[in-house]
């Protein structure tokens, strides 16, 4: 049995897009999750100060929701946590990328850059085989033996 919490962190590093939103505001926004190995246990997002998400947490952290659906990473998750603004320059340095650079004229030092920190509390996590070969092997094995294919694991996780 996989340690779903460990698998979440390991596989999230291979995820390019997720949906993030403030609880009760009714909409999730596509964002690019980033991890900083020096500050484990948080998911980082780079946005502009004028975005709805940045404005929502301007006066303090708020309950938020992160939803991940990635065939490539074999990760599916619906995670509750807290979203807050961050002024952590070291974390920003760590998660900055050429993709983020394309959005801001002044690069990492653009005055409009806002780093957001998502701190997960609990969630429903599902991990699946990431290899197409493994998937087809499991289907073939199931058809030959009558056993159900191994489609991965799912469960509740507390962070």
Compute the distance between CA of residue 115 and CA of residue 94 in angstroms, rounded to an integer.
Answer: 11
pLDDT of residue 143: 72
pLDDT of residue 9: 97
pLDDT of residue 136: 60
pLDDT digits over 123-147, tens only?
A: 999 998 865 555 566 666 667 777 7
Name the nearest CA neighbour of 12 among 92, 87, 95: 95
Burial class (CB within 10 angstroms; exposed 0-12, middle 13-18, buried 19+) of 153: middle
pLDDT digits over 70-118, tens only?
A: 989 999 999 999 999 999 999 999 999 998 999 999 999 999 999 999 9
pLDDT of residue 134: 56
Coil/strand/helix, residue 17:
coil
pLDDT of residue 147: 74
Does the pTM surpass 0.85? The reply is: yes
Coil/strand/helix, residue 100:
helix
Is 153:8 a contact under the CB 8 Å cutoff?
no
pLDDT of residue 129: 81
Domains of the chain, residue spans: 4-158
Handedness of CA 43, 47, 51, 54 (dihedral sign): positive
pLDDT digits over 42-75, tens only?
A: 999 999 999 999 999 999 999 999 999 998 999 9
Classify domain 4-158 by CATH number.
2.30.110.10
């Amino acid at each position: 049995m996989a340690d779903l919490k460990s698998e979440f962190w390991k596989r999230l590093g291979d995820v390019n897009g997720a949906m993030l939103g403030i609880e009760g505001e009714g909409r999730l926004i596509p964002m690019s999750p980033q991890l900083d190995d020096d500050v484990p246990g948080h998911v980082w997002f780079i946005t502009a100060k004028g975005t709805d998400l940045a404005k929502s947490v301007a006066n303090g952290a708020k309950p938020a929701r992160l939803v991940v659906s990635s065939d490539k990473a074999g990760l599916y998750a619906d995670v509750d946590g807290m979203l807050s603004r961050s002024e952590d320059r070291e974390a920003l340095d760590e998660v900055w990328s050429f993709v983020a650079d394309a959005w801001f004229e002044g690069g990492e030092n653009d005055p409009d850059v806002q780093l957001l920190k998502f701190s997960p509390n609990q969630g429903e996590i599902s991990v699946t085989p990431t290899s197409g070969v493994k998937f087809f092997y499991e289907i073939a094995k199931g058809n030959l033996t009558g056993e159900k294919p191994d489609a991965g694991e799912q469960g509740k996780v507390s962070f």
